Amino acid sequence: MKHSSTNIYMVRHGQTDWNLERRIQGHTDIPLNDTGRAEASALAQALTNIPFATCYSSDLKRAFETAQILITKHQLDIEIDLRLRERYFHDWEGKLFADFYHPKSEHGPLVESEDVLCDRVFDCFNDLVKRDNKGPILVVSHGGVMRNIVAHLLNIKHLRNEVSTTNTAMIQIGYENGQWILKESQGIRLPENSLVT
């Protein structure tokens, strides 16, 4: 029998060299750099007393390694779910975000849409609700995923590209009374004109 509510702590991976260079990673498997590992270690200390029941991660190295560091003191296995991957950018991966978001750039049909990204991540979350959760769930994913989840939950999808996340940013979301709600966030910057209070 599943619990009446589900709490998810969703964390963005630590820093990579491509983050520093403002390059699009997407599904390209870039590892953490030393700063990213230190960021994950610092967050692990802050999460020590949260009694996580399970941990789920994207399969990409930067997320999985972050998850490994975060659960050091929790003695959990990491369950991989491909639905937690970053948005797929096709041949834009490795190129600069500034070029991708240039008004005259063409993205092509093979770049995953943000709506499709949201659908697959919430599909994953809805599966987690159906399980017998004996405590909070730790999920490690990516910046683009978190940006879209936050924009969806706050009903500011039209401003989602103006939502920014730091490396190892974290949100807490809950499933209560049949709907997902944003409970807390850290490392998330919302656009000034989002009208969110």
Active site residues: 13, 86
Which residue type is seen at 12? R
Token reading at 19 = 């983050």
Centroid of chain to Cα 141: 4
Q: How far apart are CA 93 and CA 106, in angstroms?
A: 14
